[in-house]
Amino acid sequence: MTAGNGDEDDIPAASGSPDASLTQDDSFTATSHAGLTYPWGEAAPGPGETIRIADGISWARIPMPGSLGHINSWLLDDQDGVAVVDTGVCLTICSDAWKALYAGALAGRRITRVIGTHLHPDHIGLAGWIAKKQGVSLWMTRGEMLTARMIVGDTSDTVPDEALAQSRGAGWDDEAIERQKAGGWGRFGMLVFPLPRAYRRIRDGELIDMGAQQWRVVTGSGHSPEHACLWNEREGVLVSGDQVLPRISSNVSVNITEPDADPLGEWLDSIDKLIATIPGDVTVCPAHGEPFRGLHVRLMALRDEHRMRLYKVAEAVAEKPMRVIDSFPLLFNRPIGPDHQGLATGEALAHLKRLEVEGRVRREDVDGVWWYHGVA
């Protein structure tokens, strides 16, 4: 099943299991959210409802299938209307939630633009649908939009050779490889309504003028190529997307589209950038979970936890060579079953690549399988 041909109400009711394997938001690494405060507690807006966070921003929650269960959409006051930030996947459970909002909290209000923080389907899956239905533009960074187009355009059902080579290199056995082949390819596009051909590019440091409110674009990388956060300095609010989540660590993976990338290095650099740029006392509005305060505490915890895992893997590799799959128990706080082996492999590769870049391990290819050795 695909997302359809672009008709306004051509939204599939179901599409397999749109879990972390498609949204790529949730990591398998353990993480602590100690030291954070939640001004709204466990409250969340219900169907058709919003919760006011501060002047210029309201909170809507869009339900989704899968382990994450929802995505937060942030509604920004924009002149005489509302700008939508992130949308949910292209399934009727999400489009029905938007219809409830149009009939409820947004009744009589004009949608002015759609902003996608980044390319994952739970963030832009309905961006094209809302933009088309409302006659407005989609705003994204260039890195996110072009990468989304590349992935959505890959409609092949056959698992590409590059993906199979990465799995073999990581140490997958023949049974796992055959299971990967049987699972097919091109599932990303199932959950994304056709994107508009034209979009409005946003850039790091740009100030988006919404009349009474101004939102500055602050980009990060690692979880995705050019993720956009939005910072309202006057109101002390940060729309963080997946760049900062309160209770889970965003997935940071090496993907076949850029096999030599160092996404964890980019992620760690982005953490340092956010600490240096955004005050620690802002109200953080994340894509998943509840609004919270304690930005710097959270960022330092994320940085330190990844650094600790790098240390553990480097120590283990110094004792004896290992494959990517051998590092799973050192990196993840739960067993990795067949359903999540692909995502876990990408994340483990990101950690091992970071250690390579830092000169702490070296990779040896032995008959198509990658073995990592310590560097004296």
Per-residue pLDDT tens digits for 256-268: 999 999 999 999 9
362 versus 18: the higher-pLDDT residue is: 362
177 burial type by CB count under 10 A (0-12 exposed, 13-18 middle, 19+ buried): middle
- pLDDT at position 19 is 42
Residue type at 160 in one-letter notation: P
Of the candidate ranges 120-124, 183-187, 191-195, 233-237, the one whose mean pLDDT is the lowest: 183-187
Quick one: what percent of the chain has pLDDT higher than 70? 92
- pLDDT at position 211 is 96
Residue 28 has pLDDT above 90, yes or no: no
The average pLDDT across 58-70 equals 93
Confidence of residue 31 (pLDDT cuts 50, 70, 90): low
Centre a 10 Å sphere on the Cβ of residue 247 and count the other Cβ atoms it contains. 15
CA distance 277 to 265: 18
- pLDDT at position 14 is 63
Do 111 and 77 meet the contact criterion of CB atoms below 8 Å apart? no
CA distance 81 to 119: 24
Residue 17 has pLDDT above 80, yes or no: no
Residue 11 has pLDDT above 90, yes or no: no
CA distance 339 to 321: 26
CA distance 327 to 348: 7
Residue type at 178 in one-letter notation: E
Residue 269 has pLDDT above 50, yes or no: yes
- pLDDT at position 157 is 87
CA distance 47 to 214: 28
Helix (H) or strand (E) holding 296: helix 295-319
- pLDDT at position 290 is 97
The average pLDDT across 294-308 equals 96
CA distance 352 to 313: 8
- pLDDT, the chain, mean: 92
Only one residue has tokens 């790098």, namely 310
Strands (E), 55-147: 57-63, 70-78, 81-85, 110-115, 137-140
Of the candidate ranges 101-115, 208-222, 282-296, 330-344, the one whose mean pLDDT is the lowest: 330-344
Strands (E), the chain: 51-54, 57-63, 70-78, 81-85, 110-115, 137-140, 200-201, 207-210, 213-220, 227-232, 237-241, 283-286, 292-293, 361-366, 369-374
CA distance 285 to 59: 8
The average pLDDT across 21-41 equals 66
Residue 161 has pLDDT above 90, yes or no: yes
